[in-house]
A and B are shown apart, each in its own frame.
Chain A
Amino acid sequence: MNKDIYILGIETSCDETAASIVKNGTEIISNVVASQIESHKRFGGVVPEIASRHHVEQITLVIEEALQLAGMEPNQLNAVAVTEGPGLVGALLIGVNAAKAFAFAHQLPLVGVHHIAGHIYANRLEQEMEFPLLALVISGGHTELIYMKEHGDFTVIGETRDDAAGEAYDKVARTLNLPYPGGPHIDRLAQASDEAVVFPRIWLEEGSYDFSFSGLKSSVLNYMHNAAQRGEKVAPEHVAAGFQNSVVEVVTGKTMQAAQQYKVRQVIAAGGVAANKGLRRSLEEASKEKGIPFYIPSLPLCTDNAAMIAAAGTVMYEKELFGTMAMNGRPGMPLTSWI
């Protein structure tokens, strides 16, 4: 009989200081997230200095709590998995160094996980992955379509050519004077609006799975600018609904096109923007119509967390892909396959 595998996951690539223990890559034993969104609201965005300081204050507490909630001792763990990149450099360093210290002190193997691989594997904590699979990773820093033939095999078939979707949401929200983070506010306004401004759909060349949100952002800015020049009042909910319609239609359209072309058996979504109600509904309806199973993790697993890092780290541990004590935070780390 195979022995159970227990992995401690650590995540500090951006806002969240998080630690979690996961059993066999599929079962959450404990999951602790200390968020600092509150302190960022005042600044309209993530301020790395605050981010780093907050991580330093929280990291040991969060790791201790993850162990305590699990009722486990470090010697019962098989390995420590940590987000190696991409992310904010100062923030990544804190998680990586905490993981190295923990691994060294308790003589455990160290596993460096790509943040996006983590987001994808968050799904496995609720629903077993079936290959071939298409993952839509959509957040403040990423908008990517990733094709997976099997575990650890990643092909990025589409990515943003300019802004990430979540970034476009935040910037449009800022021009509408909505608080940070802007995504949920635009989503809420869009849901409640009975009218929508028509903004362009940026499809790019035929057959491309890349995304572009910068042109859409400029259209919204132009619309606001022109209205201001004419002295007209803008209804924020109409702008929010128009912007969201454009994002949702293009993201859903490209995801479904790719799912069909690659003949996948499962489509999964992940990342903070996957929590967007409008996008969620549209993806659910479109995949149902095409008869492709679609999954999206529950909200706490969509946003940054350490359970997803432990889940991806488990598969890497099984493949014996270990890091060394020379591991460093890699802000621009590319997503490469493990096989």
Chain B
Amino acid sequence: MTYAIMLNSPEETEVFAAAFAELLEPGDLLTLEGDLGAGKTTFTKGLAKGLGVQRMVNSPTFTILKQYSGRLELNHFDVYRLENSDEDIGFDEFFTSEAVSVIEWAKFIEEYLPKERLEITITRQSEQERKVVLNPIGRRYEKLCRELNL
């Protein structure tokens, strides 16, 4: 089953993501889909805050990956620029580590993604409002979604 939540502003997106981060465990893998401007980076900033990351979290589009340290390590991927490419930058190594991985535009690296993961889709409802849909694949992620009490 999937879970959905409506968020009324970028601030709410960040607060929701920060609260969600507290439930994360080492090795969790989240994919983030949504159009340009949907709020994927905003969501990740909230997540990082919730993980206790102190450093500035900004777009990894240019370098594909930025890594941060908090309560857990965080790998922030943006594979936007890997569209039409079959590049493997060693994803396996990152996905099997103890770090939490968040992947924006994950559909571009579908073939490298582990089967079990939490798919998060953000869609624009209006200028401010966003709908966040969580689709857990695998028991770990089903449990994670239940813990959210949506």
Contact of B87 among A49, A159, A221 (CB under 8 A): A49
Interface residues on B, range: 20 to 34
Residues on the B chain within 8 Å of A49, using CB: 82, 85-87
In this assembly, does B80 line the interface, its C-beta being within 8 Å of a C-beta of chain A? yes
Residues on the A chain within 8 Å of B89, using CB: 48, 89-90
Contact of B64 among A44, A48, A162, A171 (CB under 8 A): A48
* Contact B58 A162, beta carbon cutoff 8 Å: yes
* Contact A88 B36, beta carbon cutoff 8 Å: no
Chain A: how many interface residues by the 8 Å CB criterion?
A: 35
Q: Give the complex CA separation of A24 and B50 in angstroms.
A: 48
CB distance from A268 to the nearest CB of B (A): 22
Residues on the B chain within 8 Å of A140, using CB: 62
Residues 41 to 79 of chain B near chain A (Cβ within 8 Å): 41-42, 45, 56, 58-59, 61-67
In this assembly, does B83 line the interface, its C-beta being within 8 Å of a C-beta of chain A? yes
* Contact B61 A163, beta carbon cutoff 8 Å: yes
Q: Give the complex CA separation of A332 and B56 in angstroms.
A: 12
Closest A residue to B66 by CB, please name it. Answer: A332
In this assembly, does B127 line the interface, its C-beta being within 8 Å of a C-beta of chain A? yes
* Contact B62 A47, beta carbon cutoff 8 Å: no
In this assembly, does A129 line the interface, its C-beta being within 8 Å of a C-beta of chain B? no
* Contact B80 A214, beta carbon cutoff 8 Å: no
User: Mostly helix, strand, loop or mixed at chain B's interface?
Assistant: loop
CB distance from A93 to the nearest CB of B (A): 11
Closest A residue to B63 by CB, please name it. Answer: A331
* Contact B36 A43, beta carbon cutoff 8 Å: no
* Contact A47 B85, beta carbon cutoff 8 Å: yes
Residues on the A chain within 8 Å of B59, using CB: 160, 162-164, 167, 214
In this assembly, does A86 line the interface, its C-beta being within 8 Å of a C-beta of chain B? yes
Closest A residue to B87 by CB, please name it. Answer: A49
Contact of B62 among A43, A90, A141, A214 (CB under 8 A): A141
In this assembly, does A242 line the interface, its C-beta being within 8 Å of a C-beta of chain B? no
Apart from A52-B87, A162-B59, A167-B59, 19 more pairs, CB < 8 Å: A14-B62, A46-B81, A47-B81, A47-B87, A48-B81, A49-B86, A90-B87, A161-B45, A161-B56, A162-B41, A162-B42, A164-B58, A214-B37, A214-B59, A221-B35, A222-B37, A331-B63, A331-B66, A332-B67
The 8 lowest CB-CB distance pairs between A and B, nearest first, are A141-B62, A49-B87, A218-B37, A45-B81, A221-B37, A47-B85, A163-B59, A49-B85
8 intermolecular pairs with C-beta atoms under 8 Å apart:
A48-B87, A52-B87, A86-B63, A88-B63, A88-B64, A90-B89, A161-B56, A221-B36
